[in-house]
Chains A and B, each alone.
Chain A
Amino acid sequence: MDAVVSGIVLAGLYALVGQGLVLTFVTTRTLNFASGELLAVGGFLALGVGSWSWLPTPGKLAVVVLVGGALGAVVHRWLVLPFARGEHDSRWLLSTVGISYVLLNLFTNGEGANPQRVELTRNPGTVEVLGVGVNKQSLVIAVIAVVVTLALVAASRWTSGGVIMRAVAEDPRTVALMGISPRLVGAVAYAAATALAALAGVLWASEVGATPGLGVHVLVSAFAVAVIGGLTSFWGPLVGAVVFGVVVQVSAYELGALWGQVAGLALVIVVLVLRPEGLVGRRMEAKL
């Protein structure tokens, strides 16, 4: 029971970042491998705006999220679009991995590797959930992840932007024939994804401090949950995160802490072999 509850709560952070991966994958069939460092950017931005005493906390959060969104659009325009010129062009992989190293080095040289305390959105302490003590901040993040997931699912079903996104997922060329720029859709998706990463960065940095490597470990797990759940559905990261979190925690409790991570990644491989589209993902329809 302990393991299950803490696994579910732990899953929130990964689901939040995984949601960004789904957003870009669905719309552009690309993934931003620099998401981890952009998450760290969120942490450092929180440090920066933390000293603006004239701005209330929601305003500061908004600044971080907006700057994150703008960075996402920049990444899309300069690092993804030029390197994803068709189905067989995977250079975006190298360009985003490349920028992630560049950012990591820049931050390490500029800010040092030591964690810096972030006060924005800090929720210290633990609370009881179903009789199990859980970390307050993790719980906040989990709740936000659920809200974001519901919002994305609702938007993709019932808003015209959501319809466009589903159409782009199926067939971006034909969407262009409808007078809609698939590149713009991609840019918006990258902006939203990076805004989510920045938000996750603020929340997580408030817990463990801002470091250049803040997102490295988180991104690995976010990939895992997105793959497990399925990169083509907004339910994917949440479902994947819960399954991943519970498997990680239960094996950690039963076999030892280090085995949790191993079991989680082994689960990714099992899913890739048995159900490559993920637990709730759709098989990609024959297209293009």
Chain B
Amino acid sequence: MKKFAVAALAVASVASLAACGNDSSSEREDGVVRIGLVGPETGAAPQFYTDLVRPVELAVADLADEYGLEVEIVTVDDKGTPDGASAAVQQLLNTEDVDAIFGPPQSGNALQVADVIQRSGRPWLSAALAPEIMDESLDPNWLFRTNYNASDLSSVVAQYLFSGDSTVGIVHSADAYGQSGAESIEAEAEELGAEIAAVEAIQPGTTDFSAGISRLAAAGVDTVFLAITAGADTATVTKAIAQEGLAADRVVTNATILADFATLADPEQWENLVFIDPRDLTGDTVAGIAADYEAEYGEAPIIPTNVYSWMAAVDTYLQAVAEVGDARDFDGVREAMEGLEQVSVRDDVYEKPFGAGDHEIYEPEDPSQWIVFGFDGEGALEARGDLASCIADGC
């Protein structure tokens, strides 16, 4: 009896091993570029997965022919958790044997897998915002970021907030994202020798924030910075601003607001709401991407900024592979990415975006590279001008 059980177990495990081998590591074909995408297909924020996979598909469809490459996309689910991300990246590296990794899109998960990917020695492209993911002192450094990083944004936002004769107040979510957002602005303020008049935190999901706003008003605040995780909470805060009649000249937030704020708030609340982004979100390129995206998937992009960043990542990577001629020559591809003359997202062109010690596509030092966006009377996005001119003449 016992013997039989052992034998059955053995047969079963061999069978399952065989099954594993069959379906997951499909034979690599020579000459095909194999890109591994990792993102939260399940979990609390599946939109980050959706708007990783779709833009990569769209960009590959555009660029593979242009560069004369055959490209295969492999996706794995990180479940939105650091553990899930570790397992997913292991699978991409070991089982799938991909040539490059795109993702995970969420900073915490990207941070979790940074060491593993760096040690694996394969090109890694990321649109996650956390500055900590990037260690530019590494040699070789396999990570290329095609989005801005949060600390660069903070320094740009601070330039804007503390320009002129402003009294600045901060509202941040009482979570890790909000706290670090507020802290980085506070740090920038210290560097600039500027004062922050009041800081208020909002509990995610709070139903009323009039108390927080009235405290900002009492402190004489006329310029508000919002570091808020969810669009619904941003709506709660701007509602309170309207309700309490806080006379704020500028309410500055960031592009995550696009995810859902505009569908929730009413026009009176977006009036002087602005955010700063390095991409020309109202330009033809973004509009064209949105149109193609909608034609393909039947809905508008969920996180347009991520869609843009991942398309930039595809161009960065495929261009380099085409230059080297072999996706398996990881070192060569990395060096080629560092030396690219330009990276484009359709008609938008970034000249010499990377270098040997520079793996970030955007630089904070040049205010003219950054654009101030607001909303018009109908709630449509509008560009108010580049940061340099906004600081100089107001906008």
Contacts and interface: CB of A to CB of B under 8 A. Distances in A.
A and B: interacting chains: yes
Interface in B40-61: 42-47
Contact of A114 (B43, B208, B260): B260
B207 A10 contact: yes
B224 to A, nearest CB: 13
B259 A253 contact: no
B266 A209 contact: no
B212 A256 contact: yes
Interface in A223-254: 249, 252-253
Interface stretch (A52-60, A213-221, A271-279): A213-221
Nearest to B267: A124
B13 interface: no
B201 A218 contact: no
Contacts of A116: 263
A217 to B, nearest CB: 3
A117 B207 CA distance: 16
Interface residues of A, number: 37
B264 A256 contact: no
A218 B236 CA distance: 14
Interface stretch (B28-36, B239-247, B287-295, B362-370): B239-247
Nearest to B235: A208
Given A114-B259, A217-B204, A217-B205, A124 B266 contact: yes
A257 B212 contact: yes
B206 A261 contact: yes
Contacts of B231: 114-115
A258 interface: yes
Contact of A257 (B43, B215, B302): B215
A113 B45 contact: yes
Interface stretch (A95-103, A132-140, A184-192): A132-140
B209 interface: yes
A2 B214 contact: yes
B178 to A, nearest CB: 11
Contact of B207 (A3, A13, A134): A13
Contacts, number: 102
Contacts of A6: 208, 210-211
Interface in A181-210: 204, 208-209
Given A114-B231, A258-B201, A3 B302 contact: no
Nearest to A217: B205
B101 interface: no
Given A114-B259, A217-B205, A253 B46 contact: no
Contact of A113 (B47, B203, B209, B210): B47
A211 interface: yes
Interface of B: 42-47, 174, 200-212, 214-215, 230-232, 235-236, 239, 242-245, 259-260, 263-264, 266, 268, 302
Interface of A: 2-3, 6, 10, 13, 108-109, 112-117, 124-126, 133-135, 138, 204, 208-209, 211, 213, 216-218, 221, 249, 252-253, 256-258, 260-261
Counting from the closest, the 9 A-B pairs by CB-CB distance are: A252-B211, A217-B205, A257-B212, A258-B201, A117-B263, A253-B211, A124-B266, A115-B232, A126-B243
5 contacts: A112-B46, A114-B302, A217-B206, A249-B208, A261-B206
